Amino acid sequence: MATQRDYYEVLGVSRDASGDTIATAYRKLAIKYHPDKNPGNDEAIASFKEAAQAFEVLNDSEKRSRYDRFGHAGVNGAASGGGFSDVEDIFSAFGDVFGDLFGGGGGGRRGRRRGRDVRCDVSLTLHEAATGVTKTVEFQRHERCATCDGGGAAPGSSKETCGYCGGAGRVIQSAGIVRMQTTCPACQGAGQTISKPCNDCRGTGQRLRAVETEVNIPAGVDDGTRVRITGQGEPSPNGGPPGDCYCFISVAAHPLFDREGQHLIVRMPITYSQAALGCELETPTLDGRATVTLKAGTQSGDVFRLRGLGIADPHGRGMGDLLVQVTIEVPKKLSPDEERLLRELAELEHKHVAPERKSFFTKLKDYFTAHENGAANDESDADEVPEAPRQAKNKAKR
Mean pLDDT, consecutive 10-residue stretches, the chain (398 aa), reads: 80 90 88 78 86 87 85 64 50 47 40 81 94 92 86 84 82 64 78 85 85 92 91 82 92 93 94 91 92 93 94 88 94 87 79 54 76 67 50 44
> Strand ranges (DSSP E) for 86-169?
118-124, 133-144, 160-161
DSSP 8-state code for residue 164: T
CA angle, 112 then 114 then 118, to 5°: 155
The reply to whether 118-159+194-251 and 257-328 are identical in fold is yes
Nearest in space to 157 (alpha carbons), one of 112, 196, 101: 196
How far apart are the C-alpha atoms of 247 and 310, rounded to whole Å?
Answer: 24
How high is the pLDDT of residue 139?
Answer: 92
What is the pairing mode between strands 303-306 and 206-217? unpaired
How high is the pLDDT of residue 125?
Answer: 95
Helices (H) and strands (E) in the chain, counts: 10, 15
Nearest in space to 143 (alpha carbons), one of 208, 226, 63: 208
**How many other C-beta atoms are found inside a 10 Å radius of the C-beta of residue 246?**
17
Q: Which residues contact 85 (CB under 8 A, 6 or more apart)?
A: none
How high is the pLDDT of residue 215?
Answer: 92
CA angle, 123 then 129 then 133, to 5°: 85
Q: Is 247 annotated as a binding residue?
A: no
Contact status, residue 140 vs residue 116, Cβ threshold 8 Å: no
**CA-to-CA separations, 75 to 57, 82, 157, 212, in angstroms, rounded:** 8, 8, 63, 67
The domain over range 7-102 is classified in CATH as 1.10.287.110? yes
Q: Where are the domains of the chain?
A: 7-102, 118-159+194-251, 257-328, 341-383
How far apart are the C-alpha atoms of 229 and 247, rounded to whole Å?
Answer: 8
How far apart are the C-alpha atoms of 346 and 144, rounded to whole Å?
Answer: 83
Please report, in angstroms and rounded to a whole number, the separation of the first and last CA atoms in the chain: 115
**CA-to-CA separations, 324 to 92, 131, 146, 252, 291, in angstroms, rounded:** 76, 21, 59, 21, 10
Q: 270 has which bridge partners?
A: 328
Q: 172 has which bridge partners?
A: 181
How high is the pLDDT of residue 394?
Answer: 46
- Phi, psi (5° rounding) for residue 275? -70, -40
Q: Is 245 annotated as a binding residue?
A: no
How high is the pLDDT of residue 122?
Answer: 94
CATH homologous superfamily for the domain 118-159+194-251 = Urease metallochaperone UreE, N-terminal domain (2.60.260.20)
Which CATH number applies to 257-328: 2.60.260.20, 2.102.10.10, 3.40.50.300, 2.60.120.1130? 2.60.260.20
User: DSSP 3-state assignment of 211?
Assistant: strand
Q: Is 279 annotated as a binding residue?
A: no
Q: Which helix (H) or strand (E) holds 358?
A: helix 355-383
Q: Is 201 annotated as a binding residue?
A: yes
Q: Is 145 annotated as a binding residue?
A: yes
How high is the pLDDT of residue 383?
Answer: 52
Q: Please give the model's pTM, rounded to 2 decimal places.
A: 0.52
Q: 246 has which bridge partners?
A: 119, 228
How high is the pLDDT of residue 382?
Answer: 53
